[in-house]
Amino acid sequence: MNNRKKMLLTILMTLFLIFLAGIFIQHRIVAMLNNAAEHSVSRQTEDLSMLAGERFLRFLTPLQTAANHLSTHEQDKEAVLQMLVQQNPQGQAGLIDFQHHTMGRFLSRDSFPRLQLAFHGNTIIDYNPDIGILLATPVFYGDNVRYVLYQVYPLEMLPKLFALSDYDAFTHVIIQYRDGTLAVPYENYTTDDTKFWADDTIQAGMKEVHRRLQRSKAAAVYTEGAEGKFFVFGADLPQTDFSLIGYMPWSAVAGQITSIYQRVFFLFSFMLILFACLSIYLLMAQTSVAETEELREARQAADAANQAKSQFLANMSHEIRTPINAISGMNEMILRQELPAEVRKYASNIKSATAALLTIINEILDFSKIESGHMEIVPTDYQLAQVLREVGTLVGVRAHAKNLAFKIHVDPYLPNGLYGDAGRLRQILINLLNNAIKYTPSGSVTLDISGQRSASTLRLRAAVTDTGIGIREEDRARLFHVFERLDIKRNCQIEGTGLGLAITHRLLNMMKGTIQVDSTYGEGSTFTIELPQEVHSFDPIGVFNLNAQPDLDTNLSHQASFIAPDARVLIVDDNDMNCFVASSLLKETQMQTTIAHSGAEALETLQKQSFHVVLLDYMMPGMDGVETLHKAKQLQGISSTRFIALTATALSGSREKFLGEGFDNYLSKPMTGDELTAMLHRYLPAELIKPAPASLPPMAAPAPAPAAEAPPATAADTPSSPLIDRELGMKYCNNMEAIYHNILGMFSKQSTGKIARLDEDFATGNWDDYRINIHALKSTALTIGCRSLNQKAKEQEQAAKDYLAEDAAPSQKQQALDYLQQHHADIMALYRQTAEAANPQ
Ligand code: ADP
């Protein structure tokens, strides 16, 4: 704002200066032009005066010649007079002597006062407004004047006499004696003219003319006064005692000047307008710059708000996930028990519901992705029945709570094994069903699943019908707008954001699906979606019964659901502990596991022997997981080997990243036994997988089942410490005491060497290795159940990462380095403490 004021002031000042300059220049130009005009008028006057003088002499010369003749031939008086009249009929010639006797044209001495001067020997010209113009010259006898010879011209002769007709109508000329007395005025000379000539400015101008006449033959001066703008001029009539003076109005001369003046004026106005336009443009540009600035600030604020929102969502979903994890963990413990059928049903419902809930939490996180255009569709193989069961369970509970009947009709001939984004399908169905429940006060909500198959694609069709409030015809167009809620008056009690259908619509678009709405206001609505999905198994889904016990759950008590004694699995991890955990977890599946501690070792092993699955640590010193994978893929006979990445850093988008690198899938460390075996079940050749022998008791070797069986023994076996969450550690060991016991021992034993390495890397600034080793510490700490060390290592790893980042600014690098230096000693101290606490001895 301040800047704009300054700018405006500058522009106004500049305009003012230009205006002043304009006036100055205009004055200068006018002065110069007037000078030039003066010059030209004086030249003109000079020319005219020559002409006038010449013409005047033409009248005077015969008179003087005649006078000369008479002075010697007095007797020729009559003849001379006659001759003069003959020569010049307008001029009545006459002769007058001292006694006032006249001959020829009569002349009273009083009518022309200057006549007297002629008797003193001068040639005169005199003027009488009533009579005319008198030209008179003396006739000498010796030195004395005896007569005066004269001619009287009528006034009309005046122009002719002095060639004054050459002047234009605006120009007035007077013939004067050189001393300034009037000889002959112009025609129609009145008292006004006398007044004009008496005007001060004109007088001053004339004075200047006379002054200049002393040096040149003609002069003209521009005057500007009460009478107006004029040029006054004067010139001597050559060979006479007369001068010619006159004036003309400025405008008569200034025709051209005016046009030049106008052009200058136009140019200046044009410049001013241009400048004004430029100023306005600048002002507008300045304004728009200010606006862009404001916009940028607004965007920054919006970005910050969005960031805060995303952060909040991330935090919240994390906070929610933790208790849900606890619920599902507890529930899993319950499911592992021998249970009455009823209780098992409840527990498996809890399991499905928590799974769906977790998905929703993840979807909340996805909102921000949709908004920023980062939402991705990730297709996988999935079981349609499984998705419907999860959706049905979640929705069924809600419908039941609202006393609504909830029905699912599924075409039993639909293929069950589909390929598509099951998470998004689930999200869409849940959205539509939730809406149906929300906007239905009583009656029923029905989900109809059908589809049309063509080749290997199924056009899956899901129709959600409710007996609710319905949607008005005119509202339907706004149904899929973001934050748009309809019929607000009626729906104000119902919670909602107005995002659900917008997201549903966009997701369907992304998956090439469609959505359609039929509704009768007051009676209910049907939302129908169609979504193309690939079919990967044509086994029909069969009669779908939401309340039926899902197959999966019957097997849920913890035991190896399969064995694969011929399967060969290579575990590659630089960390002994991780290798040990993985191989221990796989023991009950009877798979043949081999361990390699580095990428190089893995490649060597792969050359010697073929494996069905390789579990490959992502981050290892030396050759990392990706490099090892790429090299391994070039080996002979590797094409059927599947590679699973093991990573301690699972972020959103990790999956795509690993698949992009060429991995078949990935597991987050620490992983549970179930996760590991499920993954292997998926990637091992089907013929190697055999059902677990029924005789095998649940929770077979090497460790007994958790908790109840021998609580005092477990507590004694593995130390408990505030630093170590035993339950957490046990979880990662499939609750197998023996494994846990072992890894605690390993953790403790390895600590000295690992601390020494970390110290050395820290001291020598070998941040690459430092990062890898602190990364390893992060996951091993969690595996044994030490959250604080895990957290600290995680932060330290982030600092090392920041320090090593290629695009880090020097200040960020320094900040990261400071952080590393401030925290290293503490972390090592905590590591030592934890190792001590973990030591089973
Ligand atoms: P909300 O969070 O408000 O439910 P949605 O985007 O899911 O947001 O829905 C937008 C609006 O569409 C709702 O506010 C509601 O007015 C209307 N609507 C959605 N589904 C139904 C339905 N089954 N019956 C009646 N109105 C519905």
Q: Is 412 exposed, middle or buried (0-12, 13-18, 19+ CB in 10 A)?
A: exposed
- Look up the CATH number of the domain holding residue 678: 3.40.50.2300
pTM above 0.75, yes or no: no
User: Is the minimum distance from the CB of 497 to ligand 1 under 6 angstroms?
Assistant: yes
Q: pLDDT at position 376, please?
A: 77
Query: Could you tell me the distance, in angstroms and rounded to a whole number, from the CA of residue 319 to the centre of ligand 1?
Result: 28
Question: Is the domain of 510 the same as that of 592?
Answer: no
Give me the mean pLDDT over the 115-141 stretch.
Answer: 86
Q: Is the beta carbon of 332 within 6 A of some atom in ligand 1?
A: no
Q: Are strands 457-466 and 524-540 parallel, antiparallel or unpaired?
A: antiparallel
Q: What pLDDT was estimated at residue 698?
A: 38
- Pair 611, 569: CB distance under 8 Å: yes
- Looking at the fold, whether 481 and 577 belong to one and the same domain comes out as no
Indicate left, alpha or beta for 649 from its phi (over 0: left) and psi (-120 to 50: alpha). Answer: beta
394 and 529 inside one domain: yes
Q: What is the mean pLDDT of the chain?
A: 81
For 747, the domain range is 726-838
Q: Quick one: average pLDDT of 198-205?
A: 87
Q: With respect to residue 331, please indicate whether it lies within any of the assigned structural domains.
A: no
How far, CA to CA in Å, does 525 sit from each of 118, 432, 516, 522, 816? Answer: 133, 11, 11, 9, 57
Give the per-residue pLDDT at 87. 84
Testing ligand 1's pocket by substitution, the residue of 364, 367, 429, 435 carrying the most ligand atoms inside 8 A of its CB is: 435
* Nearest in space to 113 (alpha carbons), one of 95, 134, 97: 134
Q: How far apart are CA 248 and CA 209, in angstroms?
A: 14
For atom 11 of ligand 1, the residue with the nearest CA is 485
Least confident of 119-133, 175-189, 797-811: 175-189
Q: Give the number of other CB atoms < 10 A from CB of residue 684.
A: 21
Query: For residue 612, what pLDDT band results from cuts at 50, 70 and 90?
Result: very high
Beta strands in 15-162 (DSSP E): 92-97, 102-104, 124-128, 132-141, 144-153
User: Sign (positive/negative) of CA torsion 268, 271, 273, 275?
Assistant: negative
Q: What is the pLDDT of residues 37-55, one digit of tens each?
A: 888 888 888 887 888 778 7
Q: Are residues 756 and 824 in the same domain?
A: yes
- Which tokens sit at 266? 């136009």
Is any atom of ligand 1 closer than 6 Å to the C-beta of 446? no
823 C-beta closer than 6 A to ligand 1: no
Same structural domain, 431 and 480: yes
**Using CA atoms in the order 368, 374, 375, 377, what is the torsion angle rounded to 10 degrees?**
-160
532 and 386: one domain? yes
Q: Assess if residue 66 is contained within a domain.
A: no
For residue 395, how far is its CA from the centre of ligand 1 (angstroms)?
Answer: 16
Indicate whether 422 belongs to any domain: yes
Does the Cβ of 655 fall within 6 Å of ligand 1? no
For a mutational test of ligand 1's pocket, the pick from 398, 485, 495, i.e. the residue with the most ligand atoms closer than 8 A to its C-beta, is: 485
In this structure, what DSSP letter does residue 815 have? H
Residue 371 maps to a domain: no
Q: In this structure, are 611 and 651 located in the same domain?
A: yes
Say if 370 falls within a structural domain.
no
Q: Which helix (H) or strand (E) holds 531?
A: strand 524-540
Buried-state track 21-51, b at ≥16 Cβ within 10 A, e below 16: ebeeeeeebbeebbeebbeebbebbbebbbb
Supply the residue whose CA is at minimum distance from atom 7 of ligand 1: 500
- How many whole angstroms from 366 Cα to the centroid of ligand 1? 20
Residue ending a domain, among 635, 670, 690, is 690
SS3 695: coil
Residue 568 makes CB contacts below 8 A (sequence gap 6+) with: 591, 592, 594, 609, 610, 611, 612, 613
Higher per-residue confidence, 448 vs 453: 448
What sign for the dihedral angle of Cα 356, 358, 364, 368? negative
> If pLDDT is split at 50, 70 and 90, which confidence band does 179 have?
confident
Residue 497 alpha carbon, nearest atom of ligand 1: 2
Longest CA–CA separation in the chain, Å? 185
Boundary (domain end) residue, out of 195, 225, 254 = 254
Same domain, 406 and 521: yes
CA atoms of 510 and 502, how far apart (whole Å)? 12
Q: Which atom of ligand 1 has the smallest separation from the CA of 484?
A: 10
Please write the tens of the pLDDT for every residue from 181-196. 777 777 667 777 778 8
429 CB near ligand 1 (under 6 Å): no
- Token reading at 60: 């005077």
- Residue 366 Cβ < 6 Å to ligand 1: no
172-177 vs 242-249, strand pairing mode: antiparallel
* Residue 261, Ramachandran bin (φ over 0: left; ψ between -120 and 50: alpha; else beta): alpha
So what's the pLDDT on residue 716? 42
Please tell me which of 88-102, 154-168, 254-268 the model is most confident about, judged by mean pLDDT: 88-102
Residue of the nearest CA to atom 2 in ligand 1?
Answer: 496
Residue 519: its H or E element: strand 514-520
Q: Which residue has the tokens 């069986």?
A: 709
678 and 774 housed in the same domain: no
For a mutational test of ligand 1's pocket, the pick from 398, 434, 438, i.e. the residue with the most ligand atoms closer than 8 A to its C-beta, is: 438
C-alpha 314 – ligand 1 centre gap (Å): 26
Please tell me if the CB atom of residue 437 comes closer than 6 angstroms to any atom of ligand 1: no
468 and 517: one domain? yes
Tokens describing residue 353? 């519901």
Same domain, 732 and 823: yes
Comparison of pLDDT for 282 and 641, the residue scoring more: 641
Q: Of all protein residues, whose CA lies closest to atom 21 belonging to ligand 1? A: 435
Q: Tell me: the pLDDT tens digits for 652-678? A: 556 677 888 889 888 877 777 777 888
* Nearest atom in ligand 1 to 502's CA: 6
212 domain-assigned: yes
Higher pLDDT, 464 or 555: 464
**Among the atoms of ligand 1, which is closest to the Cα of residue 503?**
6
Q: If pLDDT is split at 50, 70 and 90, which confidence band does 61 have?
A: confident
**pLDDT tens, residue by residue, 221-244:** 988 888 788 888 888 877 677 788
Indicate whether residue 432 lines ligand 1 (CB < 6 A): no
Sign for the pseudo-dihedral over CA of 469, 473, 474, 478:
positive
Per-residue pLDDT at 2 exceeds 80 = no
CA distance 116 to 318: 134
Chain centre distance of CA 355: 43
Is residue 317 predicted with pLDDT exceeding 70? no
Q: Is the CB of 471 under 6 A from ligand 1?
A: yes
* Helix (H) and strand (E) counts in the chain: 25, 24
**For residue 297, is it within any domain?**
no
443 within ligand 1 shell (Cβ under 6 A): no
Are 179 and 245 in contact by the 8 Å Cβ rule? The answer is no
Residue whose CA is at the smallest distance from ligand 1 atom 4 = 496
Beta carbons within 8 Å of 209's beta carbon, 6+ residues apart: 219, 220, 221, 232, 233, 234, 245
Tokens of 41: 């008028």
CA distances to 93, 577, 798 from 574, rounded to whole Å, are 147, 9, 20
CATH of the domain at 410: 3.30.565.10
Whether 479 lines ligand 1, by a CB cut-off of 6 Å, is yes
Residue 236 belongs to a domain: yes
Q: How much is the average pLDDT of 726-734?
A: 81
pLDDT at 720: 61
**Whether residue 502 has its Cβ less than 6 Å from ligand 1:** yes
Ligand 1 and 439: CB distance under 6 A: yes
Residue 492 scores a pLDDT above 70: no
Q: Which carries the bigger pLDDT value, residue 569 or residue 22?
A: 569
Residue 29 to residue 273: CA distance in whole angstroms: 21
Kindly tell me if the per-residue pLDDT of 122 is higher than 60. yes
Using a 6 Å cutoff on CB, does residue 546 contact ligand 1? no
Whether the Cβ atoms of residue 365 and residue 374 lie closer than 8 Å to each other: no
pLDDT over 80 at 123, yes or no: yes
Gap from CA of 391 to ligand 1 centroid (Å): 19
CA of 486 to the centre of ligand 1 (A): 7
Cα–chain-centroid distance for residue 599? 48
404 and 524, same structural domain? yes
Say how far apart CA 751 and CA 745 lie, in whole Å: 10
Counting the structural domains of the chain, the total is 4
Per-residue b or e along 786-805, where b marks 16 or more CB atoms closer than 10 Å to that residue's CB: bebbbebbbebbbbbbbbee
Q: Which of 225, 254, 283 finishes a domain?
A: 254
CATH number of the domain bearing residue 769: 1.20.120
Taking the chain, what is the end-to-end CA distance rounded to the nearest angstrom?
A: 75
How far does the centroid of ligand 1 lie from the alpha carbon of residue 451, in Å? Answer: 25
